[in-house]
Structure 1
Amino acid sequence: MKKSFFLGLLGIIFSTMGYGQTSTETFETESHGSKSFTDNGVIFTIITHTGGFDIQGNYPGTGWSGTSNDNRYIDNSGAGNVVTNASFSIKTTSNLFKVNRFWIFLSDTSLNQTVAGTLTVTGKINGVTKFTQTKTTGFATSLGSTNGHTLIDLTNLNGQNYSNIVIDQLQITLGGAYVYAGLDAFTWVKDSGIVLATEDTQISGKLKVYPNPTHGELNIDINGKNAAQIYSSEGKLVKTTYLKDGHNRTNIDELPNGVYLIKVGTETKKIIKK
């Protein structure tokens, strides 16, 4: 009975560790002209590839929160010369995330929405494309009930579900006659269990993992019993090992060479398999 209860409790604990926090950024508290924004404790950078994108706050009532008109959003209206194939990314270097949906206003230079254009949505991690999809139809052609915005739902984008793919960069690219874009109500999921950093994150200093880099064998020293969860660079849980108090030995021989994150309790270490 006690054993069953303990195993059940472990299941609750470890499922909670992977819990994702959903948040919607409507940009209403962000500064006009800013090239970054903060939502749910995560800093995102707005990277322009073509066209000059930042936070727009000079035209009240022209955005869309998902339920009503609002005042701020990301757009390229301050870019000066409007260019074709305008493109920008929303990127963070601190947390992995997943995207549920966003709303976007698309038009030509005169804000004419009846022109023919395309929208390409690309998800990347560490610069590697994890998904890309081009939408060619179904765009808003007038202000209507959504203030001219089209819902881009990644749970069903051209019949595909991309909302469960972990990324660190969402890229938006316009095509055809679309040269202006205003993005609002960015709904995303923060994975509270996975944090990327350029340096190892060590909260209590009680976790030791070595050798690093490794050819497969790992020594893990901890205080107290726990579980080690190993994630790929894509944010996918690839292995779980239960640990005893003190010194433990395990291996990741079966995993491809690359960069991994090992999470034990509240501590995370970056490891490299060669």
Structure 2
Amino acid sequence: MKKIYIFILISFFTLNFYKAQSSTEVFETETNRSTSFTDNGVIFNIISNVNSYSIDADFPGTGWSGTANDNAYIDNSGSGNQSAGSSFSIKTTSNLFKVNKFWLYAADATTNINVVGTVTITGKRAGVTQYSQTKTSGFNKQYTVTNGFTLIDLTNLNGQNYSNIVIDELQITLGGNYQYASFDAFTWVKDSSFLSTNDLKEKLNKIKVFPSIATETINVDSPYKVKKIEIYDASGKKLIDIKQNFNKIDVKNLNKANYFVKIYTEIGTYNTKFIKN
């Protein structure tokens, strides 16, 4: 009985921790035609890749909050330019996040959902694609069901779970006959286990390698645990691979030239260089 009680208690705190971290943006309090929104203290920018996307609150009752019709969402109706390959991103540079799910109304330029099209969902971090999947079927074709919106669930997208992958940009791209998109009820999780690109760069810059012009040794001063250090010549050939005694590195046998240093730490990889004199 005691073991069961402990299990329930742990489950309760785990569930509440998850709920505390996740958030759903339904855009109802956002400014009409804004190209950014704020949720759970995080600012997201709406980036128009193809066509012009922004917050749309001009047509009350045409969105979907996840449980009922609502009044605001992201779409590309503001400028009246819906075209093939329409695409937008939501991106933040101040935090990283994970996507749980969102609702999408995908249609042709007249907002007709009874056409054939595709939607590609891409997650990126620091410009590098972390995942990309194209949904080709299972789109809602009934206006009376969830107001015409389709649930895009990243816990099971084309049979894969992408909800635990950390990104700083979510990109949506339409294909086929889809030219118009409404994006609503965005459920996401703020991630604190990874540093943002800017924060990581700032922290790694605290690592010092000196002197910049060395004759016999270079010294490494790092506030973070170092896992290994590698030294490369200008052609990219690895010459030294060190897995212990990181503070002082013997370089007296290297030729006079420029060298690159790669330091692997517990928070990330720091790159610098020195001159052998």
Structure-2 change in CA distance of 1:191 and 1:81 (3 Å): closer
Structure-2 change in CA distance of 1:176 and 1:149 (3 Å): same
Number of residue pairs aligned between Structure 1 and Structure 2? 219
| 1:147 match: secondary structure | helix
- Answer yes or no: is the 8 Å Cα contact 1:28–1:70 preserved in 2: yes
RMSD of equivalent CA atoms: 3.4
Is 1:76–2:81 an aligned residue pair? no
Q: What residue is the counterpart of 1:57 in the other structure?
A: 57
CA distance in 2, matches of 1:258, 1:96: 24
In structure 2, list runs of 5 or more residues that go unmatched. 1-13, 211-217, 228-244, 248-260, 273-277
Q: Which amino acid is the alignment partner of residue 68 of structure 2?
A: S
CA distance in 1, matches of 2:21, 2:145: 29
Identity of aligned residues (%): 54
Q: Note the C-alpha offset of 1:129.
A: 0.7
Structure-2 change in CA distance of 1:53 and 1:188 (3 Å): same
Choose the corresponding residue for 2:223, options 220, 223, 229: 220
CA distance in 2, matches of 1:258, 1:144: 58
Q: Note the C-alpha offset of 1:220.
A: 2.2
Is 1:211–2:208 an aligned residue pair? yes
- Answer yes or no: is the 8 Å Cα contact 1:123–1:129 preserved in 2: yes
CA distance in 1, matches of 2:142, 2:196: 41
Q: Note the C-alpha offset of 1:219.
A: 3.0
Q: What residue is the counterpart of 2:148 in the other structure?
A: 148
Counterpart mapping for 1:104-115 below 5 A: 104-115=104-115
CA distance in 1, matches of 2:154, 2:53: 22
- Answer yes or no: is the 8 Å Cα contact 2:226–2:265 preserved in 1: no
The answer to which structure has the higher helix fraction is 2
The structure number with the bigger radius of gyration is 2
CA distance in 1, matches of 2:263, 2:144: 49
- Answer yes or no: is the 8 Å Cα contact 2:226–2:263 preserved in 1: no
In structure 1, list runs of 5 or more residues that go unmatched. 1-14, 203-207, 222-227, 231-248, 263-269
| 1:144 match: secondary structure | coil
Q: Note the C-alpha offset of 1:145.
A: 2.7
Q: What residue is the counterpart of 1:102 in the other structure?
A: 102
The TM-score, its normalising length taken from structure 2, stands at 0.70
CA distance in 1, matches of 2:219, 2:110: 59
The TM-score, its normalising length taken from structure 1, stands at 0.70
Q: What residue is the counterpart of 2:66 in the other structure?
A: 66
Q: What residue is the counterpart of 2:251 in the other structure?
A: none
